[in-house]
Amino acid sequence: MATQLLAVQLMAIRPILKSPSQDILVGSVIGTGIFISPAGILRGTGGSVGLALIFWVACGVIQTCGGFVYAELAVMIKKSGGELTFLHDAYGPAVAFLKLWIIVFFLTAGSAIVAIIIPEYLLTPFFPCSGPPILAVRLLGICVVLFLVGINCVSVKGPTRFAGFFTITKTIGLIIIIVTGMYNIATGHTTYLANAFTTGSPSIKLLPIAFYAGTYAYGGWDTVAALTEEIKEPKRNIPLSLVISMVTIIIIYVLTNIAYFTLLSPEEVLSSSAIAAVSIAYTIPMFPVESLPHTHIS
């Protein structure tokens, strides 16, 4: 599950919430997944661009179904808290307590992914030819973890402000990538998209990799069940918000991947550990284009 969440703000239906100061949070997420899953999905589809795009939609639909299950439970139980509340009411406090410790010791492993991804993206522009040294990535990753721990220890509002800053940077990055992709399509850079189903060698043995990478990218949908008591008319508005949010995120993810393939070949996507950084560096180059490894506009 992605550890960094971007709440989709649907201002048109903001009155759903009791408090006008709260934005719409529906548990559908844009996190680190969109920046690391493209290579995993493409690898799982054997390098087929067309099949990879289909998997982005399919995984979004699967996660939406999971969201509907949680929405149904939330409406039935009518309590906030999500999974912990469900387990507490169904099996008692002992099981809920164990679930909490599972979250603390195991499900927070996603933080390690963030501690690797952030350094990869920060360092890639400075090592465009060979990629960042692994030692530098690890050292910077440790600094990132210590920085986040420090923010949480020093201030209650600090983590919220940092999350807001991180959300803005991710959103700006995705907007740049999508707009660039649309421009490239309009100017005829569609080689890999035009041959989307003729590239690669799909194998059924690799499909689980694509499903895993795709479902990771859409992780966070379960948060929808944690807001039950904060939402007016949850029976109507939780499913409605879930659908609108997931459709929005699926569209964003598909457009982002289409944009990737207007800039990079399937081989370049598979070999890049920081695909968005390479795309943005090519769009707004900080180095000569020739210095980027195996990168060219199709």
Structure confidence at residue 5 (pLDDT): 39
Query: What's the pLDDT at 291?
Result: 45
Predicted confidence (pLDDT) per residue in 204-238, tens digit: 999 999 999 998 888 877 777 777 777 778 788 78
Residue 194 lies in a domain: yes
Ramachandran sector of residue 81 (left: φ over 0; alpha: ψ -120 to 50; beta: rest): left
Confidence of residue 285 (pLDDT cuts 50, 70, 90): low
Is 232 a member of any domain? yes
- Joined together, the tokens standing for residue 193 give 């998209």
The pLDDT of residue 49: 92
Segments forming the whole domain that contains residue 77: 11-291
| 43-79: b (≥16 Cβ within 10 Å) or e | bbbbbbbbbbbbbbebbbeebbeebbebbebbeebeb
CB atoms within 10 A of CB 91: 12
Q: Is there a domain that residue 4 lies in?
A: no
Number of domains in the chain: 1
In this predicted structure, the answer to whether residue 255 has a pLDDT above a threshold of 90 is yes
- Domain-located, residue 225: yes
Cβ distance 55 to 45 under 8 Å?
A: yes
1 assigned to some structural domain: no
45 found inside a domain: yes
pLDDT greater than 50 at residue 103: yes
Give domain status of residue 298, yes or no. Answer: no
Q: How far is CA 212 from CA 39, 60, 79, in A?
A: 12, 12, 30
- Its pTM stands at 0.79
The CATH number covering residue 259 comes to 1.20.1740.10
- At 37-56, the pLDDT tens digits run 898 999 999 999 999 999 99
pLDDT value at 4 more than 50 = no
Task: Give the pLDDT band (50/70/90) at residue 295.
Answer: very low
CA atoms within 13 Å, Cβ hemisphere of 146: 6
DSSP-assigned beta bridge partners for residue 231: 17
Quickly state the pLDDT bin for 283 (edges 50, 70, 90): low
Tell whether 167 is covered by a domain.
Answer: yes
